[in-house]
């Protein structure tokens, strides 16, 4: 039998909430904890409000967890060997693996989103996805433009992050150095870079008020590409994650080395599935983001 890993997106959920009481309950609980109707924002918009970081981060978390709970309800005894999440998704993984309560994770993400939004407004920044450049060429771009390596998504795709003027220079330089593609991303700021530093102490204050418990399922950390340690180590890693690089492909390598052959992505979109397909040759992939994809994932688990 193959080992299963659950991965959580870091980037919504209405039909699952209507179909599954456990999902409906999560949105109702989130509304109560946050003090406003997150469920209405998720299901009805307006999109301008939903995409603000202080709303977006809790929304993606609740939707991702709802997808996972729906899967669990239809596959009793689902045996999950490991978990991971990209950026914000790492918080979803930590909650699902038992480290934080649902309520505490919501509070952390509301504060994290507000702190990161404030950091974005302090200094204009951006991100650019570069495909097809070796590490030495990427390092050269960083040195010449002042940008930083934010997401090491796969062996041939790296996302750079930094000041807006540096991103513009990086786009030109990447093409000159022979990148297959250099795509400026439509994001609010320079995430996973030193431009987010002002968000760290605010997050640290909130984290000090919540309990972090030992993990029930191993979760791979973004900042190391290796499984998290004890609760104190989790706290340190999640603070470092705000400004640190996301070692995504190293984490997927660690999971496949541990015997994982099937990855189920929970949450909006299929970005992680696309990345894993390029990293883990022969991996079995599926995602859960609505009733149709849920049914396909359940069928895949039944054939495991």
Q: What are phi and psi of 161, to 5 degrees?
A: -140, 145
How large is the angle between the packed helices 164-176 and 135-145, nearest 10 degrees? 140
Is there a contact between 42 and 13 (Cβ–Cβ < 8 Å)? yes
55 has catalytic annotation: no
Residues 6+ apart with CB under 8 A from 4: 78, 79, 80, 81, 260, 262, 263, 264, 301, 304
Q: What is the CA radius of gyration of the chain?
A: 19
Instruction: Tell me the C-alpha to C-alpha distance, in Å, between residue 70 and each of 31, 73, 249.
Output: 19, 5, 27
Catalytic residue among 39, 53, 64, 87: 87
303 has catalytic annotation: no
Q: How far apart are CA 256 and CA 262, in angstroms?
A: 9
SS3 68: helix
Residues 6+ apart with CB under 8 A from 162: 125, 126, 145, 146, 147, 148, 170, 190, 193, 195
User: Which token pair is 300?
Assistant: 């895949």
Of the candidates 90, 73, 65, the one whose C-alpha atom is nearest the C-alpha of residue 13 is 65
User: Which token pair is 181?
Assistant: 């593609």
Catalytic residue among 55, 95, 192, 228: 192
Q: How far apart are CA 241 and CA 235, in angstroms?
A: 10
Residue found by looking up tokens 């950390």 in the block: 221
Question: Active-site residues: which are they?
Answer: 87, 192
């Amino acid at each position: 039998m193959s080992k299963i890993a659950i991965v959580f997106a870091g980037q919504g959920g209405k039909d699952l909430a209507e179909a599954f009481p456990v999902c409906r309950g999560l949105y109702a609980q989130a509304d109560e904890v946050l003090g406003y109707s997150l469920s209405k924002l998720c299901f009805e918009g307006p999109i301008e409000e939903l995409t603000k970081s202080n709303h977006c981060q809790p929304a993606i978390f609740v939707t991702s967890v709802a997808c996972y709970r729906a899967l669990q309800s239809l596959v009793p005894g689902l045996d999950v060997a490991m978990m991971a999440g990209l950026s914000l998704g790492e918080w979803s993984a930590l909650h699902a693996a038992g480290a934080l309560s649902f309520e505490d994770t919501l509070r952390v993400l509301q504060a994290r989103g507000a702190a990161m939004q404030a950091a974005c407004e302090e200094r204009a920044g951006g991100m650019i996805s570069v495909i097809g450049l070796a590490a030495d060429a990427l390092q050269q771009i960083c040195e010449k433009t002042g940008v930083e390596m934010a997401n090491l998504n796969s062996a041939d795709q790296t996302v750079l992050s930094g000041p807006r003027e540096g991103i513009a220079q990086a786009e030109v330089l990447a093409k000159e150095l022979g990148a297959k593609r250099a795509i400026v991303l439509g994001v609010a700021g320079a995430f996973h870079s030193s431009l987010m530093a002002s968000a760290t102490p605010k997050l640290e204050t909130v984290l000090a008020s919540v309990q972090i418990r030992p993990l029930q399922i191993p979760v791979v950390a973004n900042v190391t590409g290796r499984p998290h340690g004890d609760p104190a180590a989790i706290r340190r890693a999640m603070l470092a994650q705000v400004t640190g690089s996301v070692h995504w492909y190293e984490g997927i390598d660690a999971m496949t080395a541990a015997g994982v052959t099937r990855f189920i992505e929970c949450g909006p979109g299929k970005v992680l599935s696309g990345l894993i397909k390029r990293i883990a040759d022969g991996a079995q992939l599926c995602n859960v983001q609505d009733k149709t994809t849920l049914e396909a994932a359940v069928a895949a688990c039944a054939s495991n």
